[in-house]
Amino acid sequence: MIGFRAYGISAGRAVLGCAFLALVATACSPAEEGAPAASDVTVVWGGGLFDGTGDAVVPNPGIVMAEGRFQAVDAVAASEAVAAGASVVEVGEGEVILPGMLDLHAHFHLDLLGEGRVDETTVYPALFLANGVTSTFPNGEASPHKMRALQERLQSGEQVGARLLRSGPYFGSSRVGWDPFFTAEEVHRQVDALVEEGVAGFKAKTIRAPQLEALIERAHYHGLSVTGHLGSGFGGSVNPRDAIHMGIDRIEHFMGGDAMPAVRSAYASFEEMTPDMPEFEHIVQLYLDEGVNYNATMSAYGYSGGRDPDIFEPFADEMSYLTPYARELVEERLAAEPRQVSEQFERIYNVKQQLVKRFYDMGGGHLITMGTDHPSTGEFFSPFSVHRELALFVKSGIPEAAVLRFATRNAAEALRVDDDLGTIEAGKIADLVILGANPLDDIRNTRDVRMVFKDGVAYDPAELLESSKGRIGPQGPEDLPDFAAVDVPPPGGE
């Protein structure tokens, strides 16, 4: 098992202070023979609670967890469990509990060598968890074989990290080795093979219309959702408007519609859109009418643009997680090739804030989800990007409570996993995050993660972070082949 310490709270009392976490063991009466052991039940007591269903932080009545699920969110049930000898986690005054977050565009991609993207599976899962993200949807896997192996390690307990809700590889020309002339039957076969592997949904990118229709049809046959990074219709791409009519469930990045005509790229059109354009309001209304989710991925454009200091302030030393050799490679590259600011992406970054706010104001708040979309070249890493994305939603003028729901309830509903995830309610999987301060007062308080529960097991974020330092990337020249992109064979193929 990876050397991260994951502790289920033993029969005792956990005390969460304002600046530290300590576990204090106390005695407990032994359970009667045949009865559930008291140590199998944990009560989270005190602090404030944002459960994902409303707009407010309320006094926490007591959260009872057992067998990996929330058993009750109720003062009487919590008191009875404590009296019976349950373990207790005390949350300090001013600290706030919220549901474990879901990142629906959680790229594990690295490109440290300038030779294409590969998925980082050694450290990223623990870093996501340490940042309060208990579930990730990769939204297109660069290395599906590595991601499948990671999912198996996470499920078996061999590796500690955020839950992996796999997307499988891209469906479209963004997959290395994709054939743009795959038949509908071949698309169906690949979907079936990925369902057998246990994927949670699918991602289309640079796909032709007939193949997208086949993907949506077969995914829905299996009860799974499809999201898409689509275009304007230019160059044979699919406009999100047309994908919505096909039945797609979620759209990434660009809203689409008549404001993005097929005579030019989506990027060129998007940077000139305004929130008062009739064409923009028409496409938003289509999302509302059809119940299609929108994953804005706003901070990704700032990453390639001017890196707004309000959002990209250095709240963590992210490069410290690189191996010494990888850090040397990255620093040499940065010194030799100063970063080029994309003026187009900077314009999109600014425009998108206005458009997303208008989408929200038109009644689309229940359809917006949180996705970071931060493939890394070595300076910033995806697991930390959740805090940047949340802060940017708030900077756009959206209330903090709504923004937290984007990353919790909305995300779970969009991926069709809301029976188990997204809110703190009895019967759901016991994923929660304890923050040092109220994120409704300042959304940047999501950075102050004091404890994380996943499947009812508690993790110390500080320990996860410390154990991850110096581990991303190649250890030396002999490892370089493992960090260069390779062709992705068709799922279920030879």
Measured between its terminal Cα atoms, the distance across the chain in Å is 31
pLDDT band at 29 (very low <50, low <70, confident <90, very high): very low
pLDDT in tens, 171-187: 999 998 899 999 999 99
Is the pLDDT score of 242 beyond 80? yes
The length of the chain, given as a count of residues: 494
Is the pLDDT score of 22 beyond 60? no
Torsion of CA 59, 62, 425, 362, to 10 degrees: 10
Helix/strand/coil for 239: coil
Tokens of 41: 């039940």
pLDDT band at 270 (very low <50, low <70, confident <90, very high): very high
Specify which residues 7 forms β-bridges with. Answer: 458
- State how far Cα 439 lies from the chain centre: 18
Rounded to whole angstroms, the Cα distance separating 95 from 482 reads 42
- State how far Cα 429 lies from the chain centre: 17
DSSP codes, 329-383: HHHHHHHHSPPPP-HHHHHHHHHHHHHHHHHIIIIITTTEE------BSSSS-GG
Amino acid at 34: G
Q: Give the per-residue pLDDT at 1.
A: 28
Q: What angle do CA 152, 157, 162 make, to 5 degrees?
A: 75
Tokens of 449: 């993660």
Query: Picking from 129-143, 226-240, 249-263, 477-491, which range would have the lowest pLDDT averaged per residue?
Result: 477-491
Q: Which residues have CB under 8 Å from 98's CB, separation 6+?
A: 49, 50, 51, 52, 132, 404, 408, 424, 432, 433, 435, 439
Q: What angle do CA 198, 416, 443 make, to 5 degrees?
A: 110
CB contact at 8 A, 140 and 174: yes
Rounded to whole angstroms, the Cα distance separating 425 from 439 reads 20
Determine which helix (DSSP H) or strand (DSSP E) holds 214, and give its type and residue range.
Answer: helix 209-221
CB contact at 8 A, 217 and 260: no
Rounded to whole angstroms, the Cα distance separating 121 from 125 reads 7
Q: 398: which DSSP letter?
A: -
pLDDT in tens, 53-95: 999 999 999 999 999 999 999 999 999 999 999 999 999 999 9
Tokens of 483: 């960090």
Rounded to whole angstroms, the Cα distance separating 450 from 322 reads 24
Q: Give the per-residue pLDDT at 375.
A: 82
pLDDT in tens, 297-356: 999 999 999 999 999 999 999 999 999 999 999 999 888 888 889 999 999 999 999 999
Rounded to whole angstroms, the Cα distance separating 205 from 223 reads 20
Helix/strand/coil for 294: strand
Q: What domains can you pick out in the chain, each with its CATH number?
A: 6-98+424-468 (2.30.40.10), 101-422 (3.20.20.140)
Is the pLDDT score of 431 beyond 80? yes
Mean pLDDT of 17-23: 29
Sign, Cα dihedral of 338, 113, 385, 469: negative
Tokens of 232: 């304007």
pLDDT in tens, 353-398: 999 999 999 999 999 999 999 888 888 999 999 999 999 999 999 9
Rounded to whole angstroms, the Cα distance separating 294 from 12 reads 44
| Radius of gyration of the chain from its Cα atoms, rounded to whole angstroms | 23
Mean pLDDT of 467-494: 84
Q: Give the per-residue pLDDT at 39.
A: 63
Q: What is the pTM of this model?
A: 0.91
Determine which helix (DSSP H) or strand (DSSP E) holds 127, and give its type and residue range.
Answer: helix 124-130
Q: Give the per-residue pLDDT at 37.
A: 62
Q: How high does pLDDT run on average in the chain?
A: 91
